[in-house]
Amino acid sequence: MKKNRVKERLRSGKPSIGLLVTTGHPDLAEIYAKCGFDWLFLDTEHGNIGRETLHSMIQAIEATDCVPFVRVLCNDPAQIKIPLDMGALGIIIPQVNTKEEATRAVRSCKYGPEGIRGCSPRRASDYYLNLHEYIESANEEIMVIPQIESIQAVNNINEIVTVKGVDAISVGSWDLSSSMSTDAVKLLGTDKFPHLDVKTKIEIVLDACRKAKLPVISGAANAEGVNRLIDQGYRLIMMGEDIELYQVYREELSKIRR
């Protein structure tokens, strides 16, 4: 089984840089992976990435040193095992609100007796050529990353971070904002987001993760921002998303005299 390079870097205290990918095509996954990202966050929850496309994207990523992470639709063992059997080495699980739900997420990602993952890792085990090697190492190599996206989750964060098998935490600030108030949602996409109340809730999550020594997926738009986060001690950093690359061209086109 391929070693999880991101886990290795985290253990040694080194940062790893990722990109959120919402557009489904293996060429794009290959291009981004070859850019030098340590991991790609393939989004099947909000992106247009279907099952067959996801399979091809993971194949493209595995030809590089990059690590494929996948955000699944929901906290459901049937959904979680699909990308795992394709070879994903990290699973981001949306809307994890309680300790019980975090435990369910972990168990869905792991083989027994630690978990309930169905055992048929078709592609992940090189089509069963390395079946035993894969099964023996999968529980250790695969990262489980619950997403905190509601006031309920914030209120339960001190319990969520104690769940054995949780490797990192992701904060869904847009959904968190939505769960707080309609007024907060109105600020999405503006320079006033996240507003003070949302920042306060996010800080509660960050504080709990610091105490539990769990990395948090943090975001920055450019190299300067990433370096700033690294200086602040962050080690799991997402440098924006693919759609932002399209926006760069839009801005450049607006400057052209035509």
CA dist., res. 118 & res. 79, Å (int): 11
- Of the candidates 25, 46, 55, 195, the residue annotated as catalytic is 46
pLDDT at residue 244, rounded to an integer: 86
25 is known as an active-site residue: no
* Closest CA relative to residue 40, chosen from 16, 11, 8: 16
CA distances from 8 to 19, 121, 177 (A): 18, 23, 33
Phi, psi at 76, each rounded to 5°: -135, 125
Reduced to 3 states (helix: H, G, I; strand: E, B; else coil), residue 70 is strand
Reduced to 3 states (helix: H, G, I; strand: E, B; else coil), residue 162 is coil
Domain ranges within the chain, ordered by starting residue:
5-254
pLDDT at residue 185, rounded to an integer: 61
pLDDT at residue 193, rounded to an integer: 62
Q: Which residues of 87-124 are buried (b: 16+ CB within 10 A; e: fewer)?
A: bbbbbbbbbbbebebbbbbbbbbbbeeebbbeeebeeb
Are the C-beta atoms of residues 203 and 220 closer than 8 Å to each other?
no
| Domain made up of 5-254: CATH architecture | Alpha-Beta Barrel (3.20)
What residue type is assigned to position 197 of the chain? D
Are the C-beta atoms of residues 1 and 23 closer than 8 Å to each other?
no
pTM value? 0.93
Q: Is 248 exposed, middle or buried (0-12, 13-18, 19+ CB in 10 A)?
A: exposed
pLDDT tens series, the chain, 258 aa: 889 999 999 999 999 999 999 999 999 999 999 999 999 999 999 999 999 999 999 999 999 999 999 999 999 999 999 999 999 999 999 999 999 999 999 999 999 999 999 999 999 999 999 999 999 999 999 999 999 999 999 999 999 999 999 999 999 888 888 788 666 666 665 666 666 678 889 999 999 999 999 999 998 888 999 999 999 989 999 998 998 888 888 888 899 988
pLDDT at residue 249, rounded to an integer: 82
Q: What DSSP letter does each residue of 83-127 carry, written as one string?
A: HHHHT-SEEEES---SHHHHHHHHHHHS-TTT----S--TTTTTT
